Chains A and B, each alone.
Chain A
């Protein structure tokens, strides 16, 4: 059983996997990296917030031309998470034609690479939530 590590430390590999952000104690602004102070209000106290796994797609592109190490094409999406937070990740299991205004998406994880010790890097992406028939 190989080990797993998240590709970024704001992805928490739990059950279920989810994103977490630093939240400004004063104004609730959310950040994925450590902050010297809040970029919104300047305060220096932060707490942690677990983010929702569902949200709405706000913007996207399908990338066809990239640096040689990046496989193309892929769809990049900006997702507004339910309950707060905006995240950028790949839209997976979807085509451009599936994208509609306000498309609801849900987070999923996948193996983005394996290192020489067999450790898997786990990344996250979003897939459309199919309408209930």
Chain B
């Protein structure tokens, strides 16, 4: 292949879940050291370190990580880009290699989510005296959440889903089926936060968070980290045959943001930037959706996964409900989606998610996914979306060396 290719030679993911006994850097270090070991290199070999983290992003976590695993004087980039943070950190390392500044990079994504979650905390303490006066960009006199609809994540993604439902006739049961699938998949993943199957009735009858999403249709609060080691084509050629044999090619790496659409200021458009990223990625990799052996996509809520079947071109336009009903996205279906359990069951530590998706697909392409291995997987796609707004799509291919 061309000398411009970038390869993954090491990948790791910590168990996702609650890690109350470890701080952010402990989790990041565990994952980084595992990835270095997996690549059969040391921190001394690394030319560039990129660190993705959202909630503690002003703490220079990349440098804090170096102090725990090796201060070798290399450039460090601390990256934040909403839920696409990890994938963006990978891209920063990749771009450095493409630019010829580095031969080998380490990208780490990590998050401790705490207990607040995506719903929002309690209101700030009120002043003693309440007098309405217009404030901020919209001249609001009080908090409008709940008065002028909802703009928080469960509601935003629920509204994105019902918009698709109204247009294409999918039902609340379709969305519940997405969660049923991902929870069932997670039973096979020893690193997943939850490993418990739910029946369709369990899911439909669970507490509603934002209709149609019930609790098992929303990602949990999860801590975790994931890391990858990436190298240039030239560097890979100098490496041990066993490293080369396990190398996974990054055939496409694309990052987009929201283009303007009417109404985008009141309801984030999670579809157009995904469609744009997918189109560019298929073009870059020279593969189509029909070539994909597995997909890890951004199912922060069940409603999101269903519309991304369509946005990523996995089904006919408008056909996401039929695609799901056909069994296609199940692990034994035509295009297995989120065989890791997805964000819904594996968990969603914001800064780690993008790299965890890469880890999952790369592990299948190496034939090392154990009980959940998709047999003979050769090509896979990863997708993450963050509000507002970033979408990263990567296409990975098994090495042919």
A contact set with B: CB distance below 8 Å: 5-10, 29-34, 39-40, 57-74, 76-78, 80, 84-90, 96, 99, 101-102, 112-113, 115-117, 119, 121, 123-124
Query: Quick check: B267 and A59 within 8 Å, CB to CB?
Result: yes
1/0 per residue B151-195: CB within 8 Å of A? 110110011111100110000000000000000000000000000
Using CB atoms, name the residue of chain B closest to A56. B166
In the bound complex, how far is the Cα of B207 from the Cα of A115, in angstroms? Answer: 34
Q: Is the interface of B mostly helix, strand, loop or mixed?
A: loop
* A-B pairs with beta carbons under 8 Å apart, 27 shown: A7-B141, A7-B142, A7-B144, A8-B139, A8-B141, A8-B144, A9-B138, A59-B267, A61-B159, A61-B162, A61-B211, A64-B208, A65-B154, A65-B207, A66-B146, A68-B122, A69-B143, A71-B146, A76-B159, A78-B263, A78-B266, A78-B267, A86-B262, A89-B148, A101-B167, A112-B142, A116-B129
B146 touching A65, Cβ below 8 Å: no
Is B100 at the interface (CB under 8 A from chain A)? no
Report Cα–Cα, A112/B160, bound state, in Å.
26
Among B142, B162, B166, B260, the residue within 8 A (CB) of A39 is B260
Residue in B121, B167, B213 whose beta carbon sits within 8 Å of that of A67 in the complex = B121
Within B106-152, which residues are at the interface with A (CB < 8 Å)?
119-123, 129-132, 134, 137-152
A8-B144, A121-B141 known; A31-B265 Cβ under 8 A: yes
In contact, A61 and B210 (Cβ under 8 angstroms): yes
**CB distance A80 to B143 under 8 Å?**
no
List, in ascending order, chain B residues with CB within 8 A of A74's CB.
146
Most-contacted residue by chain A among B152, B260, B265 (CB, 10 A): B265
The smallest beta-carbon distance between B51 and chain A, in angstroms, is 31
B166's partner among A30, A59, A69 (CB-CB below 8 A) is A59
Q: Which of A33, A90, A123 contacts B137, CB < 8 Å?
A: A33
User: Does B209 lie at the interface of the complex (its beta carbon under 8 Å from any beta carbon of A)?
Assistant: yes
**Interface set of B (CB-CB < 8 Å, partner A):** 119-123, 129-132, 134, 137-152, 154-155, 158-163, 166-167, 207-213, 260, 262-267
- A112 CB to closest chain B CB (Å) equals 5
Name the contact of B210 in the complex, choosing from A65, A67, A71 (C-beta under 8 A). Answer: A65
Set A30, A61, A66: member contacting B158, Cβ < 8 A: A61
Q: A66-B146, A66-B150 are in contact. Are A58 and B163 (CB under 8 A)?
A: yes
Q: Are A65 and B119 in contact (CB under 8 A)?
A: yes
* Chain B residues near A69 (CB-CB < 8 A): 122-123, 143, 146
Contact between chains at B266 and A66 (CB < 8 Å):
no
A67 touches B145 (CB 8 A): yes
Nearest-Cβ distance from residue B308 to partner chain A, whole angstroms: 16
User: How far, in Å, is A30 (CB) from chain B's closest CB?
Assistant: 7
Q: Which 8 A-B pairs have the closest CB atoms?
A: A86-B263, A9-B139, A59-B163, A76-B149, A70-B146, A61-B158, A62-B211, A88-B149
CB distance from B283 to the nearest CB of A (A): 25
Give A32 Cβ to nearest chain B Cβ, in Å.
6
- Given A80-B263, A86-B266, are A64 and B139 also a contact pair (CB < 8 Å)? no
Q: State the Cβ distance, A72 to closest chain B Cβ, in Å.
A: 8
Q: Known contacts A31-B265, A78-B163; decide if A64 and B211 are in contact (CB<8 Å).
A: yes
Residue of B121, B134, B159, B213 near A59 (CB, 8 A) is: B159
Whole-angstrom distance between the Cβ of B155 and the nearest chain A Cβ: 5
**Beyond A64-B209, A84-B262, A88-B150: 6 further Cβ-contacts under 8 Å?**
A7-B142, A7-B147, A61-B154, A61-B210, A69-B143, A78-B267
> Quick one: which of A59, A61, A62 has the most chain B CB within 10 A?
A61
Q: What is the distance, in angstroms, from A46's C-beta to the closest C-beta of chain B?
A: 14
Determine the chain A residues whose CB is within 8 A of the CB of B266 once the complex forms.
32, 78, 86-88
When chains A and B are docked, how far (Å) is the Cα of A103 from the Cα of B31? 50
Q: A59-B163, A61-B162, A67-B123 are in contact. Are A32 and B148 (CB under 8 A)?
A: no
* B residues in contact with A5, CB < 8 Å: 132, 134, 141
Do the beta carbons of A8 and B267 come within 8 Å of each other?
no
Min distance, Cβ B110 to any Cβ of chain A, angstroms:
27
* A101 CA to B167 CA, complexed, in Å: 7
Measured between beta carbons, the chain B residues less than 8 angstroms from A34 are 137
* Minimum CB–CB distance for A52 against chain B, Å: 14
**Which residues on the B side are within 8 Å of A31 (C-beta)?**
265
Contacts of B158 in A (CB 8 A): 61
